[in-house]
Structure 1
Amino acid sequence: MASPFGVLVCLLIVLPQILAISSPIDEIAPLKTCQFPCMTEVNLHLFLHQFVDGPNNPNRNEETLLQASFPFGFGTTIVHDWTLTETTNSKDTVVARVQGVHVQAGLTKPNRWYTTHNIEFQQGRFAGSTLQVMGITAGLESGKWSIVGGTGQFIMAQGIISFTNHPASTFEDGIKELNIRVRFTRDITQAA
């Protein structure tokens, strides 16, 4: 059995040699200092134009993919490509497109439309950027959708979209007034 003194001598002789030939972790993969980029918040006020699906609506911007026979149309699935403008006039310049699906997700209540879509900006300072949005459009006069991500200028986006049905809505053009409040990380690799 080795004496405590012998073990100590071995450690003092062997340990520096082991440390000399081993590389510390940070020499293999150095840690970069984490810089927290600035968070930016933007509030946008836009109008969504939904031209409902139907044989008598040639300008529709949605299409029914599955018409379910369950109560309340549970499972009915519609794909949409709605437009966003700065005014209630659907013929105004399209600022962004709202592309995605909405599904009748209520088995016990009518008009419980779960929606998920990307808002892809086409004009202005956010052109080419997107917001990923989801929520319920419940056939109510107002509601909220969650912003759960984004691309382009909207890196790591989060926020809320409050919507109300606008009084100028018609059967052909269902207009929702959107107040978009989004926080996102400013990309420090891009020029300001």
Structure 2
Amino acid sequence: MKRVPRRQLIGTVVAILFAAPFWPILPANAQTFSSSYTSTAPKDCRTIGKPSAEDGSTQVCPGQSGLMVVISEGDLRQTVSVGRTREAAAKEPAAETWFGPFNSTANTVEWRAVDGKPFAIIQRWLIADIDNPDKTGNPTSKPMLAVTRLPPGPVCHVAYIDGQANRNANELARQAADEFARDFKCGKDEVKVIGEKGAAVGLAKR
């Protein structure tokens, strides 16, 4: 067996002890955040009623982890809620949260999850701006992202991010979901405006 010189051995031990404080230390309860996506396109959902009917229509769309997304439309305005059943989703605060201007939602829902368990959704809304019509005289659509918390606990809007005023709107929405959604108290906490407040958020908050 080759003998290691004493001076070399001491130098190696000192180097290890000096480097030890700089080794990365991961907390025992480190959580893993992730995103997955589902569709609310009519072809992927079950439609109840007719969009042209006076009472509007409802779309029931499969989500994640046994949850479903329920989109109700009436008078060219939509509400979006989530629940284990359509009846459960209809009783959530989100089912009663609507915006004054005409509006619609995009067909993709982003699900934020921690360790595989979804706790919030992010969805793009288009808010009609009747004060700024296009060349044909129709209202222009202003994009906005809405963060909605999920069970356990009530389902409600947590944060709004203006899609036109913030170039990193998707990143801001994920950050808002991760930081605020799980502890947000529906009916008590005020919906947060994240980033720059643009036209869409201004219209939605009227």
Calculate the TM-score normalised by the size of structure 2.
0.31
Q: Which has the higher helix share?
A: 2
Q: Which has the higher strand share?
A: 1
Calculate the TM-score normalised by the size of structure 1.
0.33
Structure with the greater relative contact order (CA < 8 A, sep ≥ 6): 1 or 2?
1
